[in-house]
Amino acid sequence: MEMGVGRDGMSVMCDIFNMPPPCHPNVWKHHVTALYEAHKKAVSGQLQEATDKVFSRHSDNESGVGEIAVSYDGTWSKRVYTANFGIGFVISADTGEVLDYDFESKICRECQIAKKDLGEDSPEFDIWFGGHQEQCTQTHTCSSGSMECSIAKKIWGRANVKPGKLTAQHQKEQISIMQQAKMAVLYHSCELIDDKERHKFCPSGPDSWCSHKREGKFQRKDHHLDAVFLEFLVPEFKRVSHYSLLLRCLPGYSQNVNESLNSLVWNHALKHRFKGPRFIEIAAMSAVLAFNCGAASRQDVMKAANIPGGEFTLEGCKKMKCDKDEALCKEGKVEEKGKKEENQRSQACSKPIERLLADNDSEDSDSEESDDAPLAHFISKRQ
């Protein structure tokens, strides 16, 4: 399951290594059911821990209600209009952990076989379906595109929560702050004669990013714009500061963590190979455990399935954690290096153009500006 291959994939691996084939398909099915129950037990306990953690930070002891900011996103096994399976995840914006999930399927393999053998409209099928209904994996009968909304309704329904939002007055206050911040960027960067006019939108106080408001001093920089640009840029800044646009930006959250979790699901259940609904749901639960707890979470599944872990199991989990930490460290170094190079390019581009017009007959020909001397000499000749 962790490798994203089923019994057929294991058969190929056994053939290559000259090993006996896996167990009979019926026995394999029983093993999958046992692993499904083990994942169910492990993920339910982990989700409860994640919920208790975030609820303890935001709960109101009097009402017993917690105002928790979350992000929700759905993912499909294929393109939306052709997908047979859909999964939805709710992730806390505070802790970054999965708080809940749900899964829906449009197919049931056993129902398909029974309809073919017994006939969909036959009394025998009705009798058979009466005993099979509780185990049926077909939980969605509408369009594939409606799975995301359907899963969201189920999650919010059983959690007994309501999506919250800011009051109208609070929205106006926050949007006004954002509008002022946008205009502060423009006016602060334009060389106006009146400092009071230039810094009227900049935030006040000792923690202000504006040195004029913070210390009463302001140093001119080469990248500051001439005041003539203000006439052309003010309409554009007002356009991007429109109330309706900022209203959509007000929450300030992204779905990057959701997309990361979605990719983790399909690493366990590859999209280009068909997998049954039980396999897809196991992949979703495995992704939740790995996302919240890391590679060590597989030990919880093994414990729930009464499979004892050994020395190599622990070493494998530790190695995966070390590899992940090393990758994150390298990513941080690359990002830091990129920022450093960007700053160097910015400083190089901000050098005044007067350097290019410097006198080529300067006495100090070995100075750092000597590289620009031929160009300056050429410009002076053309003039």
pLDDT at 3: 67
Q: Is residue 86 part of a domain?
A: no
13 contact partners, CB below 8 Å, separation of at least 6: 5, 19
Question: Tokens 């928790």 sit at which residue?
Answer: 68
**Predicted confidence (pLDDT) per residue in 109-131, tens digit:** 889 889 888 888 888 888 988 88
Q: Is residue 334 part of a domain?
A: yes
pLDDT at 159: 65
Q: Is residue 378 part of a domain?
A: no
Among candidate residues 234, 283, 208, 303, the one with its CA nearest the CA of residue 3? 283
Q: Region of 4 please: left (phi>0), alpha (psi -120 to 50) or beta.
A: left
Q: Is residue 340 part of a domain?
A: yes
**Per-residue buried b or exposed e for 115-129, using 16+ beta carbons within 10 Å of the residue's own CB:** beebeeeeeebeebb
| Sequential DSSP letters for 90-143 | EEETTT--EEEEEEEES--HHHHHHHHHH-TTSHHHHHHHHHHGGG------S-
Q: Is residue 298 part of a domain?
A: no
- Secondary structure class of 75 (helix, strand, coil): strand
- How far is Cα 373 from Cα 363, in angstroms, rounded to an integer? 12
270 CB burial (10 A radius; 0-12, 13-18, 19+): middle
pLDDT at 331: 53
Among 219, 234, 250, the domain-final residue is 250
Among 250, 285, 319, the domain-final residue is 250
Q: Is residue 343 part of a domain?
A: yes
Average pLDDT, the chain: 77
Among candidate residues 27, 8, 47, the one with its CA nearest the CA of residue 285? 47
CA atoms within 13 A on the CB side of 90: 22
- How far is Cα 131 from Cα 117, in angstroms, rounded to an integer? 16
Q: Which domain holds residue 317?
A: 308-347
Q: Is residue 3 part of a domain?
A: no
pLDDT at 101: 92
Q: How many domains does the chain have?
A: 2
CB distance 224 to 189 below 8 Å: yes
C-alpha separations of 270 from 10, 77, 251, 363 in Å? 15, 9, 33, 70
pLDDT at 371: 39
Tens digit of each residue's pLDDT, the chain (383 residues): 666 677 777 888 888 989 988 888 888 888 888 888 888 899 988 898 888 888 877 665 555 566 677 888 888 888 757 888 999 999 888 888 899 999 999 989 889 889 888 888 888 888 988 888 888 888 888 888 888 899 998 888 876 555 555 667 778 888 888 889 889 888 888 888 888 888 888 888 888 888 888 888 887 787 788 888 888 899 999 898 888 888 877 766 667 788 888 888 888 887 777 788 888 889 899 899 988 888 777 778 888 888 877 777 777 767 766 655 555 565 555 555 555 655 554 454 444 434 434 444 444 444 333 333 333 333 344 44
Among 231, 250, 269, the domain-final residue is 250
The fraction of the chain above a pLDDT of 90, given in percent, is 4
